[in-house]
Amino acid sequence: MQSSVGVADRMAEVGKRAIRDHLIDQHSQFFPLLPFVVLGAVDPAGNAWATLRSGRPGFMRAASPHRLSIRIPRDPGDPADAGMEDGDGLGLLGIDLFTRRRNRLNGPVSRNDADGFDLVVKQSYGNCPQYIQMRQFSFTRDPAKPSAEPGIPQEVADDRVRALIQSADTLFVASYAARESGHRQVDVSHRGGKPGFVRIGPDGVITIPDFAGNRFFNTLGNFLVNPKGGLAFPDWETGDLLQLTGDVEVILDSPEIKDFQGAERFWRFKPRQILYRPNALPLRWAASPEGRSPNSLSTGSWAEVERRQKAATLATLATLATLATRWRPLRVSRIVKESAVIRSFHLEPTDGAGISPHVAGQFLPIRVVPAGSALPLIRTYTLSVAPSDGIYRLSVKRQGLVSSFLHDCLREADIIEARAPDGSFVINAAERRPAALLAAGIGVTPLLAMLRHIVYEGIRTRRFRPTWFFYAARSKADRAFDTELTELVVAAKGAITLVRLLSHADGATEGRDYDAIGRIDETLLTKMLPLEDCDFYLCGPAAFTQSIYDSLRRLDVRDESVHAEAFGPGSLNRSLDKSLVAEPLLPAATVPVPIVFVASDKVACWMPEAGSLLDLAETRGLSHEFSCRKGHCGTCRTRILKGAVTYAKSPSYNVRDGEALICIAVPAATDAGRVEAVHLDL
């Protein structure tokens, strides 16, 4: 521990001077003044326990410079008592809460009777007054008589235990290490801070910050060689005592350390046994008005950390909300040729705000100005990476004006604009039901992102979602991501089955380059998949997606088990299960309807033959963002300030209440065919 912070050589010299094998006069005079002592012991099972034991001042006295006599009776209700037999190693901390003095010693127990024992001094040294809260004591009963109330063992910390831990400004911790002689060297120490400096998580794990101290590292050094510890939390006002024994992990480096004021490292304690002892202590302590330790006042609390984290989260959400609605510059950091017709473009933000998070399967709206185009053109391309990849990658097939511009004109270091990722065609990698991902052509991109997500989550949790990945392509030259898919299959250790299909096998070898010739059909699906217990994800040209969907429905796969995203001229026509009734769309208006474009301060009259509200806006000279004009991408979504709209067919994009996809929306007729003006935030 000392080496980790670069003080080993210096502390070796300090230790020779400060740690003694006998009691100096000052310590001999100190211990008889105390009304209680903190002890650290190890029970026969090897569990470390910290405890507080009381007596009238004078119950401890120095029998000689090498022995401290402690007159306390046996207490069967104290789990630490079992570690105070003759020859057992014991740690002792004498602490005066009013003067903030404390001294420690450890050594073996020398016991002749049940009324007390001597502690043979092996190590004795003083501690500084840091983090001790000033308190004055008073007795409420004879300290020679143990509490008549039985202890309450718990497997899981209840609300009372949690409240005591979370409000504590003081705890005591026991630790030990085995010596070469076979004896145990036991230590017990004090920890203090602001109320709330100790955290107990939902899983019961207790986290304690380690503040700057004397650099002896007795406690943490023991934990590194023997990760067992014991904690004691006294309730100063009631005399209750909470004792826990468990396992410890020392955290030398964590992002949380910089968030907790004054902490240099953390340690985590996982309880194995919990004992709450009501009225265990015959003492009560009253805090002094000005008795808060100055050192403790300069430290943080977990409540403060949570407040700062919450504020940071709110600020981040506000930033993300802004990023979601504005165009941002992205630099092309890398271009990769994936096949004869597909290129991948790796993008990174240039504004220093980091990438907006996405969900596997979502798309990224981008805006470019190809040569010869008077206005920017907007397209949406699927992100072909998982959220945990931490990058944006668009894999684009050359098949139109914008994609040709990307292939032919875009170079590394060029800038394009993008908005936040969007889309509802996503997957839950933690779901246990098997998944079948069926792709054709460039429809592989969202499914590749989903597969990467499934593999990463499987590696992280050691539980892979069983997955079949079907990939149909025209030829081997047209197919992309061969190496990447193979690596993912290997990483999944048998949880993923890859099935590659080619329409034309020219120059390809079966088994090495493909698994079947032809298309994905009912025969193949029936042969390979557990149809009744599987979720299906389809993406490809509209004809492919519709054909696969219809095949699955004929095979009695439920509509709700089929998730699809089509690109091209049309969207999926679904046949709902009889038990499911789709919410009917409002009828379209059959008479002229006034349309108010509020932000532009323009008014138009929509006619039944006028087309969509986007068409109408363009006739009035308004330029609004759009991409698919099919209700797939959500680029054109606009707030409805007044009135109602409807669609000839439900859009595949999940539009929110109060918004309209104006690329396919028309005014709706209300009750009895009545119409009212539609006000749009455009």
Scan for tokens 């950091």, then name that residue: 333
Would you mind telling me the total number of residues written for the chain in this entry? 682
What angle do the packed helices 444-461 and 482-491 form, to 10 degrees?
A: 30
Strands across the sheet containing 342-349: 377-382, 363-368, 415-418, 328-337, 342-349, 392-397
Instruction: Please count the other Cβ atoms lying within 10 Å of the Cβ belonging to residue 182.
Output: 6
- 270 CB contacts (<8 Å, ≥6 apart)? 204, 205, 206, 246, 247, 248, 249
Instruction: Kindly write down the DSSP assignment for every residue of 279-303, as one continuous string.
Output: T--SEEEEE-TT-S-HHHHTS--HH
Alpha-carbon span 588 to 576, nearest angstrom? 23
Alpha-carbon span 331 to 329, nearest angstrom? 7
- Residue 321 has a pLDDT of 53
* Closest by Cα among 210, 310, 300 to 260: 300
Scan for tokens 């943080």, then name that residue: 300
- Residue 538 has a pLDDT of 96
Rg (CA), the chain: 36
Cα distance from N-terminal residue to C-terminal residue, the chain: 64
Alpha-carbon span 24 to 125, nearest angstrom? 9
Spatial contact of 575 and 556, defined as CB atoms under 8 Å apart: no
* Closest by Cα among 247, 236, 63 to 138: 236
Spatial contact of 661 and 631, defined as CB atoms under 8 Å apart: yes
Alpha-carbon span 71 to 111, nearest angstrom? 11
How buried is 152 (Cβ within 10 angstroms: 0-12 exposed, 13-18 middle, 19+ buried)?
middle
Give the distance, in angstroms, between the CA of residue 410 and the centroid of all CA atoms in the same chain: 37
Spatial contact of 20 and 82, defined as CB atoms under 8 Å apart: no
How buried is 287 (Cβ within 10 angstroms: 0-12 exposed, 13-18 middle, 19+ buried)?
middle
Q: Which pairing describes strands 363-368 and 415-418: parallel, antiparallel, or unpaired?
A: antiparallel
Alpha-carbon span 342 to 211, nearest angstrom? 56
Q: Which two tokens stand for residue 401?
A: 């004006």
Instruction: Kindly write down the DSSP assignment for every residue of 586-603, as one continuous string.
Output: PPBP-S-EEEEETTTTEE
pTM greater than 0.75: no
Q: Which two tokens stand for residue 82?
A: 């079992």
Alpha-carbon span 502 to 473, nearest angstrom? 5
Alpha-carbon span 382 to 358, nearest angstrom? 11
- Residue 314 has a pLDDT of 63
Q: Which two tokens stand for residue 576?
A: 């709902």
- Residue 322 has a pLDDT of 55
Q: Which two tokens stand for residue 171?
A: 């705890």
Count how many Cα atoms sit within 13 Å of the Cα of residue 410 in the half-sphere of its side chain: 30
Spatial contact of 231 and 269, defined as CB atoms under 8 Å apart: yes
Low-confidence ranges of the chain (pLDDT < 50): 568-569, 579-580
Write the pLDDT tens digit of every residue in 267-278: 999 999 999 999
Q: Which two tokens stand for residue 500?
A: 């590659």
How buried is 174 (Cβ within 10 angstroms: 0-12 exposed, 13-18 middle, 19+ buried)?
buried
- Residue 578 has a pLDDT of 55
Cα torsion 139, 141, 142, 146: sign: negative
